[in-house]
Structure 1
Amino acid sequence: PVKRLPWLLHAIHLVVQQGRSVHLALVGDGSERPMLTSLAVELGLTRFVHFLGATYDESRLGLVLSASDLAVVPSGAGLSVMHALGYGTPVLLHDKVEEHFPEWEAVKEGETGWFYRYDDLSDCAEKVIDALFPISCKPAMATACRSVIRSRYNTSTHADLFVKSIAQHCVFPARGVTTPGHSDSAVPCGPLEDSGSVKEGR
């Protein structure tokens, strides 16, 4: 399965076996839920695994992420990384980065999250323990998590990068520049920061 949630339950089982009390909240629904519920019973995790069901209410999702000390993504990570970091919650990912979407780059080891060895249950469990015990690392990392979203992963920054890319690779009509038989001519447009054509609204 793409989400690898059964794998995550086995990792949490290792954490609990080491005498650590953790709670795993799973948001979403689908055909895997009965199997996951049965697996939680089989592993003795019914006290520790909570199935919250499907929700598209951002206020509810925000409450879950804000209340969480760690977000674990056992599959290819994408926008879920941005979502968690935006609420100040560090993220734990596997280190096989070619399976992730570009958003994985927002996770900096020890600053906004951690990486565990791909498909290594013991290493994942150890990283969960390190992140949560003896005290949660979230309070010390929350500012950095939110900061990386505000400074690098926002619509304004993405729009600037998009426009700069166009400016560096395209030509635009230059008003007032004439050539024989033409009122305007196409001239290369340099980097946007040099052209002064567009300014960010304040």
Structure 2
Amino acid sequence: MKIAIVYHFFAHYRGPILEELYSNQLFDFYFIAGKNPNPPYSSLKLHEFKDSGKFIEVKNRWYLKYFLWQENLNGVLKNNSFDAVIFLGDWKFISTWFAVRSLQKSGVHCLFWSHGLLNKKKSLNNSLKYWFLKRFRDGGFLYSHAAKENLLDMGYPYDLTVIYNSLDFKLQVETINRLNSEAKPKDTAYPYLVFTGRLLADRNLELVFDAMKLLNKENIIVDLVIIGSGPHLDSLKNYTATLGLTDRVKFLGAIYDESVIGRYFMNSAACVFPGPIGLTVIHAFTYGTTVITNDNFARHKPEAEVLVDEVNSFLFREGDRVSLAQKIKRVLNLNGQEKEQFKINTFKAVQEKYNPGKQAELIVNRLSQLANSGQSVKKKLK
């Protein structure tokens, strides 16, 4: 079967799963997307395809930041006669609505790849998302079991496959092995927490600074290393100065070198992420680093369902600096045996489910079901 995956753009961190799909022996994958992200992601690094013949570019036209029309998408899909097409499942991608309708009329399998419904709120966004995903008569792929349950509770009638999410697991394991064989440099004078991600207001990093200030009053000194850039950077720097924490917080900017990121993860006491967390959980867990984040799972991204309080992470009351300070203190007081157990628990979650190999296996299994079920393509696009 000849398969197309249609995205708005392929971010650099999607590379490993794309390579896994490309290298599989059962299906012939092609990748269709634009090269111009929408304004909020204009600085995002994109994946570079090794085999340019497998990448088909379409022109993205963005409206109101998030609404997308992909020029000539229907023409590209028609000319290449795909047996199945997997679309990024965003209802705001207007061209996808037309493409799915046209393809399914011609008997081509159409599936979505989506976060699904992250909560059970009766909102306009959830209603539109459900209505949109229901257009896909072959169902789709989701990142979490919670999203699957939310759709099923609303009566979703088609197949749903949870494929989890992933980063570059192979590279990160190689990085771990290399760093374990090297001497560990001392990154800061005191134990430190690490944050990685774009610096946005909803990440609520100010809460970490407040907790650090509270701990200072107890003569508990902890530093914070921030890896990332974003529009909230200047505000964060000003707030650290106001609290007198300039020497305790290191702003390193955006870093893409996995050896550097891995070192900071492995040498840290924990990864702290006070706002809604997603793939950062998987990044930290791969390096055996426990995560401190808030307990409001309704606002977290799908990857957060891997979090288990006091097993591989520490959950504080959302928005509560005192609760956060207590969790930081708990991490700092872990003994050697407890630290080792947390390291085992975190890495195990990634090794079993949250890696590109597992994702590709689940996607290929579902496509194999379609290929072998007798639901063969009725006719090709002409």
TM-score normalised according to structure 2 size? 0.43
- Whether 1:85 aligns to 2:262 is no
- Whether 1:100 aligns to 2:300 is yes
- Whether 1:33 aligns to 2:227 is no
Q: Which amino acid aligns with 1:65?
A: F
Deviation, structure 1 residue 133 = 1.9
Aligned partner of residue 277 in structure 2, secondary structure: coil
Equivalent residue number for residue 257 of structure 2: 57
Q: State the distance in 2 between where 1:82 and 1:11 align.
A: 24
The residue correspondences of 1:44-193 to structure 2 (distance < 5 A) are: 44-133=244-333, 135=335, 137-166=338-367, 170=370, 172=372, 186=374
Map Cα deviations across residues 42-71 of structure 1 (whole Å, 9 max, x no partner): 212123211112211111111111111101
% identical aligned pairs: 29
The structure that is helix-richer by fraction is 1
Call closer, same or farther: CA 1:13–1:71 in 2, change over 3 Å: same
Q: Is the 8 A contact 1:65 1:89 kept in 2?
A: yes
Call closer, same or farther: CA 1:27–1:187 in 2, change over 3 Å: closer
Q: State the distance in 2 between where 1:167 and 1:60 align.
A: 39
TM-score normalised according to structure 1 size? 0.77
Stretch moving more, 157-166 or 112-121 = 157-166
Q: State the distance in 2 between where 1:55 and 1:28 align.
A: 7
Q: State the distance in 2 between where 1:126 and 1:140 align.
A: 20
Q: State the distance in 2 between where 1:147 and 1:132 align.
A: 22
Q: State the distance in 1 between where 2:212 and 2:340 align.
A: 22
Deviation, structure 1 residue 171 = 5.8
Q: Is the 8 A contact 2:225 2:249 kept in 1?
A: yes
Q: Which amino acid aligns with 1:76?
A: P
Aligned partner of residue 252 in structure 2, secondary structure: strand
Q: State the distance in 1 between where 2:251 and 2:331 align.
A: 22
Deviation, structure 1 residue 128 = 0.8
Structure 2 counterpart of 1:21, from 221, 239, 243: 221
Call closer, same or farther: CA 1:172–1:112 in 2, change over 3 Å: same
Aligned partner of residue 298 in structure 2, secondary structure: helix
Q: Which amino acid aligns with 1:140?
A: Q
Q: State the distance in 1 between where 2:228 and 2:343 align.
A: 25
Q: Is the 8 A contact 2:279 2:303 kept in 1?
A: yes
Q: Which amino acid aligns with 1:52?
A: L
Aligned partner of residue 24 in structure 1, secondary structure: strand
Q: Which amino acid aligns with 1:129?
A: K
Aligned partner of residue 64 in structure 1, secondary structure: helix
Deviation, structure 1 residue 78 = 0.7
Instruction: Tell which structure's C-alpha radius of gyration is larger.
Output: 1
Provide structure 2 residue ranges, at least 5 long, that are not aligned to the other structure.
Answer: 1-200, 377-382
Aligned partner of residue 341 in structure 2, secondary structure: helix
Q: Is the 8 A contact 2:284 2:291 kept in 1?
A: yes
Q: Is the 8 A contact 1:69 1:138 kept in 2?
A: no
Provide structure 1 residue ranges, at least 5 long, that are not aligned to the other structure.
Answer: 174-185, 189-202
| Matched residues, number | 175
